[in-house]
Amino acid sequence: MKNFKLIVDIGNTTTIFGVFDDKELVNVLITYTNKNSIGEKEKMLNKFVFENDYKFTSGMIFSVVPSESEKIQKLIKKVAKLDVKIFNPRSYKNFKTTVETPNEIGADLIADLVAARELYGTPALIVDLGTVNKILYINKSKEFEGCSFLPGFSASLASFNEKAALLPDVKDFKKPSDKLGRNTEDAMIHGVFWSTVSFIKKEIETFPKGTKLILTGGHCKLVESEIDNKVVDQFLTLKGMNIIFAEMEKWTLKN
């Protein structure tokens, strides 16, 4: 029986339980942060741990949804018999930045930046496609220079429904064809998808030659075939969290 680390990424839409063997991501359990109740998550995590016979020796929670953090912490204690701490972004100092408000950089952004720096090198433009689409740039000196936020696919579709009474509520986002939509729902999806793809293509052109383009997040697979010269790593954020946790474990041992 191997000993594994449990790294948890609590995002606005999904809560991902990642199992790591040292640096290797060996398995993930993806749940919905709000759609799945804590009782449902308990059943899913119980099955996940039992069927794979996981024995966790350490772990950490990274969260952008504070109201969920302690719930998941207690759940892990109950199911996996493991005490895990909740990552405080203010406590992590092993990256450089030139932004005006470094205290506003969240756990997910730090993880993306660390993973890009350690796994793929710099300079890099990270495109994290999720509830909020995040465009992050880390320069050749490994400094985080800034970012751009834009609504994710689902959020963009929801805004149509909120502002235009006659437009339908589109529940499931799918990749559209390259042709214009032939009904209202397809037209909405078409506009949201291709405007995002066009933004990414235009954005990478504004950065220095040789900048790596890294696509990640829950929707990265939808756009990968439309964008050239890129790296696709759906779980970049989770891998960055594991790197950070490993560093923090070493710091604890030294002190």
Dump the DSSP string for 64-123.
S-HHHHHHHHHHHHHHH----EEP-GGG---SEE--S-GGG--HHHHHHHHHIIIII-SS
Q: How confident is the model over 171-179, as a mean pLDDT? A: 84
Spell 163-174 as b/e; 16+ CB within 10 A means b: eeeebeebeebe
Helix (H, G, I), strand (E, B) or coil at 11: coil
Q: How confident is the model over 52-75, as a mean pLDDT? A: 96
* Alpha helices in 116-183, H assignment, sequence order: 153-163
**Model pLDDT for residues 82-112, shown as the tens digit of each residue:** 999 999 999 898 989 999 999 999 999 999 9
What amino acid occupies position 119?
L
Please give the residue that has the higher pLDDT: either 161 or 231.
231
Question: Residue 179 — very low, low, confident or very high, per pLDDT cuts 50/70/90?
Answer: confident
pLDDT, residue 172, reads 80
Q: Give Cβ neighbours of residue 152 (< 8 Å, ≥ 6 apart).
A: 129, 130, 131, 132, 133, 219
CA–CA separation, 216 and 214 (whole Å): 7
Percent of the chain exceeding pLDDT 70 equals 98
Contact 126, 236 (CB under 8 A): yes
Q: How confident is the model over 214-221, as a mean pLDDT? A: 96
pLDDT reading at 1 higher than 60:
no
Percent of the chain exceeding pLDDT 90 equals 82
pLDDT, residue 255, reads 53
pLDDT, residue 163, reads 77
* Alpha helices in the chain, H assignment, sequence order: 38-52, 66-80, 107-115, 153-163, 184-204, 220-223, 236-254
pLDDT, residue 237, reads 98
pLDDT, residue 61, reads 98
CA–CA separation, 158 and 67 (whole Å): 23
- Region of residue 53 (phi > 0: left; psi between -120 and 50: alpha; otherwise: beta): left
pLDDT reading at 216 higher than 70:
yes
E strand or H helix that includes residue 28: strand 24-32
pLDDT reading at 171 higher than 90:
no
Q: Using DSSP bridges, classify how beta strands 24-32 and 14-21 pair: parallel, antiparallel or unpaired.
A: antiparallel
Question: Residue 252 — very low, low, confident or very high, per pLDDT cuts 50/70/90?
Answer: low
Reading the block at residue 200, the tokens are 């990414």
Mean pLDDT of the chain: 93
pLDDT reading at 254 higher than 70:
no
pLDDT reading at 45 higher than 80:
yes
Question: Residue 168 — very low, low, confident or very high, per pLDDT cuts 50/70/90?
Answer: confident
pLDDT, residue 118, reads 97
pLDDT, residue 227, reads 96
pLDDT reading at 205 higher than 90:
yes
